[in-house]
Chain A
Amino acid sequence: MTRRLLRLAVTAALFVVPVSAFAQTGTVVDWGPDCYAYESNYNPATYISAAGSSLNIVGVVNGFLGPLGSIDPNGGTEYTLYMTGMTSAGTVITPGVFANTYRTVYNGGSFQIWEDTPRDAAFGTNPPNATVPSSFTDGSLFLSGFYTSLTVTFSKQNSNQQILGGNADTGEPSVANGVFTGGSALPLVSIGGRGCPFRITGGWLAKPGNFPTGYTAHFDGKIDINCPTETTPSTWGKIKSQYRD
């Protein structure tokens, strides 16, 4: 009898463990052609961000997926992105034969997505300006969160001096690296009343001619969620009872 119960308990534990693994992953927010970065001390001729430079990003969301998938960002209501509070640690160049690689870690940061009608976001030029970030931070707060850093990496091909598209990433999602913290959609990306971990990542384009005057890069990115399935405290007795006839 004891052996049978032990077997049942072990079986039950095997069923419980996989359920507590990360269960909700993938993209929940996406943006594409309408998203640009600007910073306070960036040299567009050398592609170098000076240590201490402040990075900001404004954009227009073009897709909601997963738990946010029922919301249409391309209708009459506009959803705009504002990422701010990122401080450059300075660009580090890794020289190579094919290309030199430029990497900048921006420490700190938070994002906000604002819900607004009518659609009025305008990038203008030389931000901050009369419409940036103001036309991206009007309306009501839809979703917000913080992260610890954003790492931007891209290369310059040596044969033709062309800037190649790169990558931006806040890193592995974890409670320490960043979680959703606010906005009307927070319950949709929370578990047990706490915001889920996320990562912001995507393509980064510092190639001149691909962003308005005064901006420093184009960011085609998204927010990925990594949310554990909710668990409920229980007892071995309750688990065993589920396997009794």
Chain B
Amino acid sequence: MRMRNYFVLMAIVAAVSLPAKVHADQFLADFRGFDYEDPNNTPGFGNVGDGYNSLGFVTQVNPALLTCNFGANEYTYQFKDLSAVSTETNAPFLFVLYSNGRFRIFEDAIGGGTAADYGTNPPNAVAPSTFADGTIILGGVVSNFVLTIDLTNNNGSFNGDIAFDEGTQQGSIPAAQLNGWTFAGLTSGGGTGTPAGYVHQVDGEIRVPDVTPTAPTSWGKVKNLYRH
């Protein structure tokens, strides 16, 4: 009897331990672009009330989740409507926390469409308009968006959650993976080719939670796993 209790205990411990397996995330889309503030009510970057925007190109997608023809179409992205609501300085780092915003991926035909153009000092006659044209293939609400900046060199990163709720390919993403997230490195200075009026070069990804298949079972079946 004592031996049986031991095996039951083992089964419980094992069952509890199994979910501790590292949760995996899955690649959805790779992007590269630049960012700028609009509105930019206060000189400097990341002040409360300033709006964060990023434009650029989607350079690769997970073909299991999105269908893209990079030979025929231009794929662009846009982060918008993010407003800085609070900051925390932790020298040399600055954290900027934002209100909810929106992320979108656009598909625009290379032939007959409008080639994306950053221009300078956005918003301008071509940006964001040439990045936000064509068909929205995926978009969603961005929340928990936080930007980290090293005040010594103006480099940093951003993170945020994205709940996908629009786009012609929204339906191709399993429901369990519609709550994704994003991260990107932000770089300023030499070599980045940052157009005048933009602040950082942005290089990052959209990722979604991986769906690990599970099967319903009973305690009896679990215990049987540990019986001779």
Contact = CB atoms under 8 A, between A and B. Distances in A.
A and B: real partners?
Answer: yes
Interface of A: 22, 25-27, 30, 32-33, 62-63, 94-99, 101, 153-155, 157, 164-169, 171-174, 197-199, 201-205, 207-210, 220-222, 224-226
Question: Helix, strand, loop or mixed for chain A's interface?
Answer: strand
Contacts of A198: 191
Nearest to B146: A164
Interface string B97-115: 1000000000000000000
Contacts of A27: 32, 193, 201
Contacts of A153: 148, 150, 155-157
Contacts of B60: 32-33, 62-63
Nearest to A62: B60
Interface stretch (B20-28, B171-179, B219-227): B20-28
A220 B191 contact: no
Contact of A166 (B90, B97, B153, B157): B157
Interface in B55-108: 59-60, 62, 88, 90-93, 95, 97
A140 to B, nearest CB: 24
Given A101-B90, A166-B157, A209-B25, A201 B59 contact: no
Instruction: Give the size category of B's interface with A.
Output: 35 or more
Contacts of B59: 30, 32, 62-63
Contacts of B22: 208-209
Chain B interface secondary structure, helix, strand, loop or mixed? strand
A217 to B, nearest CB: 12
A205 B153 CA distance: 20
Most buried by A among B93, B150, B190, B191: B191
Contacts of B148: 99, 101, 153, 155, 164, 166
A79 to B, nearest CB: 14
Contacts of B207: 210
A237 to B, nearest CB: 35
A205 B181 CA distance: 12
Nearest to B31: A32
26 contacts: A25-B193, A27-B32, A30-B59, A62-B30, A62-B59, A63-B59, A98-B88, A98-B97, A153-B157, A167-B156, A167-B185, A174-B190, A199-B191, A201-B203, A203-B184, A203-B185, A203-B203, A203-B204, A204-B157, A209-B23, A220-B184, A220-B203, A220-B205, A222-B32, A222-B203, A226-B191
